[in-house]
Structure 1
């Protein structure tokens, strides 16, 4: 009889995530310090790493100053920002029944319907958090990106400030959320401008796949079909459309509901973000809403 009879292999531990960049690493230590396994950094980032290393030393966790080539190997990218934290993996949580209250806490809830590029996910999270989002909802579409090294790096810490949930049946869940949120789909042409939307409740902004737009099921849930969905600001490079463009839409759509404070305090900060996203200060969003659930 084989010595391996009845052997049950142990499940593999999930691979840790590599959080790169000053803002992303600081946000990780602020929001999930217990998740940090170890820290690597360049000599030029000693001033940033110093307080973080003291925390790790108190908790008997490793940290090390390394050369640029080694840090690129550890990070898996040359775009590491000079500091990399190895952390316990984080994934989107399943949306509850009833839905978690934090989904309704912000002035805008970004909803991603098949966004496949993790860099786009991170950029959308960065803009949405700046303008008051508290959570993000992503679809169960097989093309949908999840939380990954690239998404955390691109978000520059924003994903640490957002609760991220996954809905296997996005269309059904959008109908459930419509009692407390105004659910709208963004479009490049047609529809109505953001200022024409009702303003009696927070907005769930649905953004479709980079190439095919909103899925047919979600279009049906939004009580209409036919308009092509997309959101590249006119005259802007396409690479800026998902992050900067979505942020501009969120700013315009949620402005009457926004309260001062947090990431979104003051007109100057909103205009500064627009400049950083490649948009002109105080320029109304070029998005229009194709469909919405009133």
Structure 2
């Protein structure tokens, strides 16, 4: 495969057969292995009725820097990549996109060329390889990530002085749901998005970034070492509301908030998508509320629960 170049911005007018054009042409040809019938393997699989071969996830490339260990990972989808360049453009290391979406990325390619970072218009198979999934939406950005900072009660005290609400996620195991929760948090302007540091808690990955549609890059994601211990300290600065099936059905804020806590910003706590909050976490909440329904199913999905609580106690309050 030819080496990618970024010194010539994509789309610039020039000779009909410039060096960059030849390299992109050769790059595309190199991604088209031919079989006996002259077609790509994925095309033959479709014609023969066989499912395409599964692609193994791409292992993150670890980078050690003076600021600590970092790694490269993929962000997929037009909304997620667009938000990434809007919020954190300098963490992008490479960009890949298909021909259909190419006109959308002119300004972004100019930025990457200025930063001497590579970008390329590629075929579907190469996008799959870079993303580690076929659900890439036609664009993949390879970005530099680092371990999120830990949330502390001292930080919560500062956030409370600034009037900042919190959304705390304790035990959500599905990365897609985590992404939707981040999108909900960004939608309601809740910048502080805290997740448990436990092994059962999903972490951001390409699935979460795609589901968040840019939300994960709009929030300040922090890790919480021990959620019950953190809530015990955070109750001094925030009014902590947990979701519980047996809680009071969405009461008014004044009905559950003591007078001495009425001026505190809220902190909404969301538990596992199947089992809800741990008992130890419930004990450290200022109030537990439920969401009434018809009873046909046991509960809503947690992203919808979070949206209802933020609407009720952040927007309406």
Superposition TM-score, scaled by structure 2 size: 0.69
Structure-2 residue corresponding to 1:206: 269
Is 1:49 the counterpart of 2:109? The answer is no
Question: Is this contact kept in 2: 1:106–1:132, CA < 8 A?
Answer: no
Residue deviations 1:11-70, cap 9 Å, x none?
Answer: 953541111111111111122211111000011112221111110000110000011222
Q: Distance in 1 between matches of 2:196 and 2:161?
A: 17
Q: Distance in 2 between matches of 1:105 and 1:145?
A: 29
Structure-1 residue corresponding to 2:303: 243
Residue deviations 1:164-208, cap 9 Å, x none?
Answer: 111111111112111221101112343241424435322111111
Structure-2 residue corresponding to 1:280: none
Per-residue deviation, 1:254 = 1.1
Question: Is this contact kept in 1: 2:171–2:200, CA < 8 A?
Answer: yes
Runs of 4+ in 1 over 4 A off after TM superposition: 102-107, 229-240
Point out the more displaced range, 80-89 or 193-202.
193-202
Q: What SS does the aligned partner of 1:204 have?
A: strand
User: For 1:158-169, what aligned pairs fall within 5 Å after superposition?
Assistant: 158-169=215-226
Q: Distance in 2 between matches of 1:124 and 1:22?
A: 19
Question: Is this contact kept in 1: 2:76–2:209, CA < 8 A?
Answer: yes
Structure 1: tracts of 5 or more residues without a match = 1-10, 258-294
Question: Is this contact kept in 2: 1:56–1:62, CA < 8 A?
Answer: yes
Superposition TM-score, scaled by structure 1 size: 0.74
Is 1:84 the counterpart of 2:140? The answer is yes
Q: Distance in 2 between matches of 1:177 and 1:103?
A: 9
Q: What SS does the aligned partner of 1:111 have?
A: strand
Structure 2: tracts of 5 or more residues without a match = 1-60, 64-69
Q: Distance in 1 between matches of 2:134 and 2:220?
A: 28
Which has the bigger relative contact order, CA under 8 A and spacing at least 6? 1
Q: CA RMSD in A?
A: 2.9
